[in-house]
Every structure is written in structure tokens, then in C-alpha cells.
Amino acid sequence: MVVPASSLTPTPEELEKKLKDSKKEYQKHIPKKENENTPQMKKEAQKSYKEFQQKVMPEVENWKGKMKYDGERLVIDGSGRKNENEKDGLREFLNKDERIYIFVSSSIPKTTLKNYARSIDKLREPNIQMVLRGCIGGCAKLMPTAHFVQDVIAPSKDEELAVEFIIDPMLYRHYKITKVPAIVFAWGVSAADIESSEGIPENLKGSPNAYVIYGDVSLDYALEKIHAKTSNPRLLAMLKELRKGWFDSKTK
């Protein structure tokens, strides 16, 4: 999905700069001494504060709104992905009980991460998620994680990809993920509480089946290998979508 650069969400780095600049501008008008507290300085200080509240804070709140924590996991939707009531543009290759989890970390090369993001964006399948084990630098500070996500989903100034990240250590535990990248295809996934982690056994109706591919491989390669083991036609459809053009040339 390509959108105008002006419509992209500011990066956490840009927001931090705006916050610092606004604070400096506001402090310039704060009187150092009591006798400097002139009507003009009061007016300028009020103006700076008003601009800060109207222009900068909405952008900060917008980023906060993209982060949803439910007690077990953090969902970061920094991508412009449609919600459940706005499914225009989504493809839905997979059945409702099927999932593809791409387990990643900040140690993985950015090229690999961005290739995953572009593949997910091309498929537009809502049941594919990129999964982090935890926040980068600890969850006391969310901005490093937000910056990492933004760097992956907005690889250029005029491009923003529809990718959903989640931070869910319970999924790592449930699928016994010990190294990344790892791509998991799971089926038979049915959660009692859809807002809670799908990695909590007590939240699952039954035991999902899963197949895991480890290593720095492309999503289409992983789909090909998993399809060879499962013969799932929906995986083949996604593989053909990702390799569109290549399949066409092979059939001529």
C-alpha cells in the first residue's frame, strides 16, 4: 500500500524531536525571575503550550492508540491495517482457525524483516502476524519498540505496509520457539477470548496442530515447504500470489 508521505504516521523519533522542540519553545517564554513575568511573556507561553497540546500531543496519543495491552500480550498496529469492521482490501486466504506466526526479534537483519513485511502486505491476510517475544529494551519504555516496528513497516518515506506486530511471550512458549526467525503455520486455533493470547492453553478450545520452519528464509519458501508436508490448498494459493509472474512463466 503506497500512501502520500504527508499522511504517514510520524516515527517515534520524529515525535521525540517534536516533544523536545516544543518543550524548548515553551521554556523560552517562562520567566526566569518574578519581575520578568510580563503580559507579553505570559501570552507567548500560553501560545506555545496551546500549540503543543493541539499539534504534538494528538500525534503522541495516536501512537499510544496503536498499542493495545491485554495483560499477556501487546498488539502494535502501526500499519494502517483495517479493524474487524473495516475489512476492505483484506484477502482472507486462510480459514478462521488457521494462523501464520512469524517469530522475529530486533537481532534479525532489517532486510529480512522488511521482506517479511512486504510479503504480508502483498497477501493482505489478517491471520498473519509478526511476533516479538518482548519489548525492545524492556517494556518500561515502549518507544524503542515503536521505532523498530515503524522502521520495518515504513521502509521508505512514501510506503507504509499493512502488517500487525504482536508482543506475545505466551506464543513463544506454546510453540516452543527457541530461536528466530521461525515461521509457524497453525491450524485448529480457536480462542475462547479473542482479545487474549492464543498462546495460553486455557484460552484455547482444543489443541492446535502446527508446523514450524526455522532459519532466515523467505515467506514463500516457508509456505512451499509447509505445503509439501500438509498439502493445504490455501498455502498453495498464497504461494502463487507471492510468486505471481513466476508461476505464470512456468505454465506457458
What pLDDT shows up at residue 136? 83
Model confidence at 90, pLDDT cuts 50, 70, 90, reads confident
- Mean pLDDT (whole number) for 38-60: 57
Rounded to an integer, the average pLDDT of 115-144 is 88
pLDDT score, position 89: 64
Burial code (b: 16+ CB inside 10 Å, e: under 16) for 166-189 equals: bbbbbbbebbebeebbbbbbbbeb
For residue 92, which phi and psi values (nearest 5 degrees)? 55, 65
Average pLDDT on 126-146 reads 84
pLDDT at 21: 59
Query: For the chain, what percent of residues have pLDDT higher than 90?
Result: 44
The DSSP-derived string for 100-152 is EEEE--TTS-HHHHHHHHHHHHHHT-TTEEEEESS-TT-TT--HHHHHHHHHH
210-230: average pLDDT: 97
For the ranges 6-20, 110-124, 193-207, 228-242, the lowest mean pLDDT is seen at 6-20
Mind listing the pLDDT tens digit for each residue in 181-208? 999 999 999 999 888 899 999 999 999 9
Residue 195 pLDDT: 83
How many angstroms from the chain centroid is the CA of residue 89? Answer: 17
**Is the predicted pLDDT of residue 145 greater than 90, yes or no?**
no
Portion of the chain with pLDDT greater than 70, in percent: 62
Higher pLDDT, residue 25 or 226: 226
More confident position, 3 or 70:
70
Cα–Cα distance for residue pair 192/175, rounded to 1 Å: 18
Average pLDDT (103-120) is 95
